[in-house]
Structure 1
Amino acid sequence: MGDDTNIHNTSRGDVGLTRATTIALRDPLLAVALFIGSTLTAVGHHLYYESLDRAPVGSEGQQVWAIRIGTGLAFLTRSGLAATLGIIAVQQSWATLRKRAMTIGGIDSMFGIMSNPWLFLNKDLLVHAKRICVLAAISWLLPLIAITTPATLSVYSHATQIEIMFNVPTLNFSDVSGWATYEAWGIVSGIGLEISRLFTSVYTSNTFAPFTPPFANASYDLGFWGPSYKCSSLEAFIERNNTPTWSPNDSNYTSVEEAFYGEIGTWVSPGNASLSGRANVFKAVSSTPMSNTVFIGTSGFNMLGNTTLPNVRLLCQLYNTSYSVTVGFDNGIQTIRENAVEILELQEWNDIRGKYSMALANGTCAPDPEANNAIICPTYYTFHSVLSNFLSGTIFVSGDGDFRYENNGFQTGAGSAPVLQSGLTDCPEIWNYTGIPEAYMKTFHRCRNQTLASAIEDLSRNFTYSLMAYRNWEDVKTLVPMAVTSPMNFFYYNKGYLLAAYITAILVTLICMAIGFVALRNNGFTGSMAFSAVLLTTRNTDLDKLAENHYLGEKPLPDVVCNTKLQFGIIGTEETGNHAGFGLEGTVTPLGSMPPCHNGESKGAETTTLLREEL
């Protein structure tokens, strides 16, 4: 095609008729280039997706463009392979047509099957051009790689933790803002409203009051000092303090034991199970002789204390405490994990010095010369007032069976007792062995840490933690490293599916290329489906007669034309001259082997005719 060739002819039936041709390399080289380019594009697609695998999705735009680029690479790969198959199909078509006769309808289907899938229904095509059908089927299936391979990159959400520096709420007990009300000269006269509300939320909820989370999922470590209670049994306190460190104040008690029974009463003495008349269930008083101490007696018992005897005697004292905690948020739900809680100094200053503490250094924590230079904080004094007021009072069963609460001489129903509104009610030391009907006292397992002493300590620490939510301390913050966990989108590349799709397509195309090159070698020339090829290969008087009255080439093709069988080979007579082209079945001599091109007359015993044509 475009090359001058010589055909040597002696007679129409001479199968030794030869035609010298050359193979134009442009189309074969294009097929190889398209195949290599498609392979490199597929490799590029794989490498691009692999670079994104497990990488965070920076933005919605990045995600969109990743899919767009992947789709574009898949489309380029598919287009290149399909074009390669198209070139191969052309060469295989000429190889098929020179071997056997086919109906014109079958030839039409062969020429158009790469662009019209309906042509697969042609029986002549399926019977006589199986390789063409396979090539076309593969070409039609290639778009699947443009569908499946982009989908191998997906996005999944994963909780990721990063560390940032962030200002978080903390505590400053030198700041007395809103803690108390005051009389003349700054004497503390009562508890501030917000502090009272905050503590009420603590003991009714049986946990600390949370503050607004900085992030839905985060955690950080925090260290600070603050107040807490330390509770112990009367027996343990006496054993631990053989030489009393306390001194009587405005009282004539000579021992801790005497002070305890003097203020709580002898009904709580060991083993006293008498419930005649008024039966005390619980009683707590803020100790007069011992500074910042609450005496507590109950008529119940706790098996965890290794005793079955009724009556429990506790002393709860105020201490300065060092806290090391981890504050966490899980989907906005706050938790506090205690890493270390170390009891420091006992707050031994008395009630009088606490009330006057506002006069020290403008209300901040300061040493008091009149209290042996002990550090006194007005906030600590108020803290103790809050908890001692909460605990103080007597809960009892009257002689007529009425369940009552008494505080400072005023009696009311036991439901008014703050203690009974808290989780402390569920501690066995209160409800066990009191003789109270279950309708009045039924445990709901809200006693934290299972003993009354531990539950009171826990309550005091929860109150301290809750002060991080204290509104007047909203600006009290500290900068800490914070681990923030948040859902983050990541790319996920399922390389198995992409590689399987591309490798299959490339290997199948490579096999098809081998078939195409075999067909090209057998043809001896580079075939074309162009109009010029049709023009040059259909110069035949038989075809001219067949085309009479059917010149438009319209669809559908008439049966008389469609069912006529043609074959590509040597046609013509001695009068008209022989040439390569399509002819009716039985009028065509198969093409023979073709020697190299030559310009001149061939030497032999027979007359030769030189025909010059272009394919």
Structure 2
Amino acid sequence: MVTAFLVGICLALGQHILYTRLHHRNEDDEDKKVRMVLYGRALAYFSKVAFGGCVILCYRQRIWRTFRERPLSVWSIDQLFLATEDPSLFVNWETLSKAPLAVAMALIIWLIPLATIIFSPGALSFGWYFEISSSNISVPSLNFSAESYKDWRKPVIMADGTKKKSLMFYNTTDAQAASEGWFDYYDKPSSDLTRISLMTAYSGTTSSLNRPDARFESCGGNYNCTFSTTFIGPGYKCEEMASGIGDSGRLVEFGAPFNTSMLVPEGRNVYYADIDIGEYARPQSDNLSSQGGVPLGPIPEELGVFKVEPLLWIGYSINSSERLPDNSPYAVNWTHRYDPRIFRCVHYETRYTVKWNYTEPFFATEVSHDFVAPVIDTNFTRNADGTVNFDDPGPAENFISPRTDVLLYKKISAYHAMGQSLRNFLRGKLELEAPIPGPSYARVYSDITQTRLVSNVSSTPLDNLPDLIQAFYADMVLSLFSAPQMLVVSEQWAEVNRTRYQSTFIYHPEKLWGCYAPVIFLTFIILLLGAWTIWQDGTTWSVGFSRIMVTTRNSTLDDISRGACLGNDPFPLELMHTRLQFGVLNEFSEIEYMAMEGLQGVGHCAFGVPSELSPIRKGVPYAGLKRRSERRAAFKEKVD
């Protein structure tokens, strides 16, 4: 009994351990998934066998105790013997009233399979699980310093055999890199960068471009995720210089190339950009060959030198939607008030902190800028009359030369190529025909209309244009991630917070132990009752044929059962209602009542009518096999 109880507990623990290991486990193999479920059900079945076996053993001890204490009809005795296969004892008043403990134990035997086999496997199910995890993995990043070490003569090969692409094309003074004092110098943005810039502008979205498998690669699998990356790259820092008609104080101070008179309503331009002052000249010299820009003759001293990074001077006018009063000098041509604004953008080396959010099938970025230092820290000097001399930047020691610091020069070239790609879209102007006499429409002389910086309704610049240009340029930089073959695309380690819904096993331990706890508790109580019954009786009991045979050796039973010895159904009702009890027969056979010398007389225990029985006493060796053998030998000797 104890072994069966402990085995049942071990099997229940085994089912719990199996389900715990399967909890939130994704299994795509359907055959293996079915096997795991069957393993759990097998454990539940065997635990039912163990607990049920323990209760049945205890039940057998109890019914024999009941048979000794109370006379019961043959019908009720039959029902108690057949309790594990015949539930009719639960509707028999005699068994309910005279053997309530045995009936309760029989009821538990019937209920154990319900708890173990039927309900306990329900603790393991399938469903969508929202998995939350965090992992330190390698994510895409940008490293513009990689351009510093790139030699176009020696291609960098990727794992798939393709070549890494640079952000710019170079010219050189010696294609073979053999002559003394040779150097490479910047030519223009590469075709790959131009393609990425165009796609960013033409996408019309408010986010950067990215590769199709970016979520899988960045999140380390089929997850949604968030993480942050930090890198150094180029960025434009924009600052408003004038707001409103006639606001020219800061424009004069910073040497602006135009003022608000160029803009609506005083001028014709709703957008005007002067962004090429100090631009890197192309070609750099008049004596360059068509083969890689090799100079034909002496090499100019300033060949390839970056003296200044062009400033972005941009003016635009915004329709305030407020109607002009009739006495306004601008009411002759305009119906609403336009507010002209001018701002300046400086190209900075910038520390980017990007928060990525991948949520299938979308992604979003939150970019913050930390402007470190100007890409080229020079300014134009002033003439004697205070005007700006755009032909004389300085100081000369801040020029970036390809002859001296080659690593810095190549990185600045990469920044310049990125800035030039943006400036190609900002260059030019938009004129606006006044609504009076009308009609009003925009004349387009700029590629800015191909970007998201212009309204789709009016083809005029959007409000808050300085911030929009900063964000647009940042998205152009981030769009480099869409081309992993770009040299500047690298990797860095980041803490990635990942989530995903997946179809998994879901284990509810409270359901499993909600089934097993009552079974274990009741089985333990019954085990104690069974042990107590064995201690009371001083022996154990069984319901095998041999036990039934020896406990029904009673002449009275022979007399009342004549004509009903086939074990057939239907059984005589008169006999079924006869009340019997288990005890010591008061009449002994010859062998059983003769007391020999040195031997004690032993009674016979059997079923019979209550009037012919005496109570069974603990410790008396009723019909023990050893004593019976001794008694027969002594009797034979006496007779001889």
CA drift of 1:140 comes to 1.6
* 1:195-234 to 2 correspondences below 5 Å: 195=196, 197-201=198-202, 204-212=204-212, 213=214, 214=217, 215=219, 216-218=223-225, 219-228=227-236, 230-234=238-242
Cross-structure match for 1:260: 258
Residues 260 and 71 of structure 1, relative CA distance in 2, 3 Å threshold? same
**1:548 partner amino acid:** R
Contact 1:223/1:325 (<8 A) preserved: yes
- Counterparts in 2 of 1:318 and 1:397: CA distance versus 1, 3 Å: same
- Structure-1 residue corresponding to 2:440: 403
Given the superposition, is the C-alpha separation of residues 515 and 279 from structure 1 closer, same or farther in structure 2, using an over 3 Å criterion? same
Asked whether the equivalents of residues 319 and 343 of structure 1 are also in contact (C-alpha less than 8 Å), the reply is no
Give the secondary structure class of the aligned counterpart of 2:420.
helix
**CA offsets per residue over residues 90-120 of structure 1, 9 Å max, x none?**
2222222223322222111110102333443
Q: Which residue of 2 aligns with 1:543?
A: 557
Question: Is 1:337 aligned to 2:366, yes or no?
Answer: yes
**How far apart are 1:133 and its partner, in Å?**
0.7
Tell me which residue corresponds to 1:477: 489
8 Å Cα contact 1:173/1:380 also seen in 2: no
Question: Letter of the aligned partner of 2:74 in structure 1?
Answer: I
Which residue identity does 1:331 align to in structure 2? Answer: T
Tell whether the 8 Å contact from 2:311 to 2:347 is kept in structure 1 after alignment.
Answer: no
Contact 1:183 1:189 in 2 (8 A): no
> 2:520 aligns to what?
506
Question: RMSD in angstroms over aligned alpha carbons?
Answer: 4.8
Match 1:141 to one of 75, 88, 111: 111
Deviations 1:133-183 (A, max 9, x none): 111011222221354445546684412121123555655667896878999
Q: Does the alignment pair 1:164 with 2:137?
A: yes
Mapped to 1, the partners of 2:23 and 2:554 lie a distance apart of 67
Give yes or no for contact 1:284–1:394 (8 Å, CA) kept in 2. no
Instruction: Indicate which of 457, 467, 475 corresponds to 2:480.
Output: 467
Which residue in 2 is equivalent to 1:284?
273
Distance 1:367 1:64 in 2: 68
- Between the aligned residues of both structures, percent identity stands at 18
Hey, what's the Cα distance between the residues in 2 that align with 1:149 and 1:301?
A: 71
State the SS of the aligned residue for 1:296: strand
Q: For the residues of structure 1 that align with 2:241 and 2:589, how far apart are their CA atoms?
A: 134
Q: What TM-score do you get using the length of structure 1 for normalisation? A: 0.66
What is the TM-score of this pair, normalised by structure 2?
Answer: 0.63
Counterpart of 1:478, as a letter, is S
Structure 1 residues 55-64 or 149-158, which shifts more? 55-64
Give the direction of change, closer, same or farther, for the CA distance of 1:331–1:320 in structure 2 (3 Å limit).
same
User: Which structure would you say has the larger RCO, counting Cα contacts within 8 Å and 6 or more residues apart?
Assistant: 1
SS at match of 1:142: helix
Deviation at 1:531, TM superposition (A): 0.9
Describe the shift of the 1:544–1:309 C-alpha distance in structure 2 as closer, same or farther (beyond 3 A): same
Partner of residue 544 from structure 2, selected from 504, 514, 530: 530
Question: Matches of 2:403 and 2:355 in 1, distance apart?
Answer: 34
Residues matched between the structures, number: 501
Contact residue 137 and residue 495 of structure 2 kept, 8 A: yes
Match of 1:323 in 2: 351
1:298·1:313 contact (CA, 8 Å) conserved in 2? Answer: yes
Equivalent residue, structure 2, for 1:392: 428
| Distance in 2 between residues matched to 1:368 and 1:544, nearest whole Å | 126
| Alpha-carbon distance between aligned partners in 1 of 2:506 and 2:24, rounded to the nearest angstrom | 10
Q: Is the 8 A contact 1:564 1:584 kept in 2?
A: no
Q: Within the alignment, does 1:556 sit opposite 2:563 as a pair?
A: no
Query: Per the alignment, in what secondary structure is the counterpart of residue 300 of structure 1?
Result: strand
Would the aligned equivalents of 2:271 and 2:430 in 1 still touch at CA under 8 Å? Answer: yes
Residue 571 of structure 1 contacts residue 588 of structure 1 at CA under 8 Å; is this kept in 2? yes
> Which SS does the other structure have where 1:424 is aligned?
coil
> Does the residue aligned with 1:335 lie in a helix, a strand or coil?
strand
Instruction: Work out whether residues 325 and 336 of structure 1, in 8 Å CA contact, stay in contact via their aligned partners in 2.
Output: no
- One-letter identity of the residue aligned with 1:330: Y
Instruction: Tell me if structure 1 keeps the 8 A contact 2:604–2:622.
Output: no
Q: Deviations over 1:434-454 (max 9, x none)?
A: xxxxx96499xx95xx62222
Q: Aligned partner of 1:222: which letter?
A: T
1:128 corresponds, among 98, 112, 116, to 98
Q: Is the 8 A contact 2:12 2:47 kept in 1?
A: yes
Q: Structure 1: which 5+ runs fail to align?
A: 1-30, 245-255, 351-364, 409-416, 427-438, 600-609
Q: CA deviation at 1:422?
A: 4.3
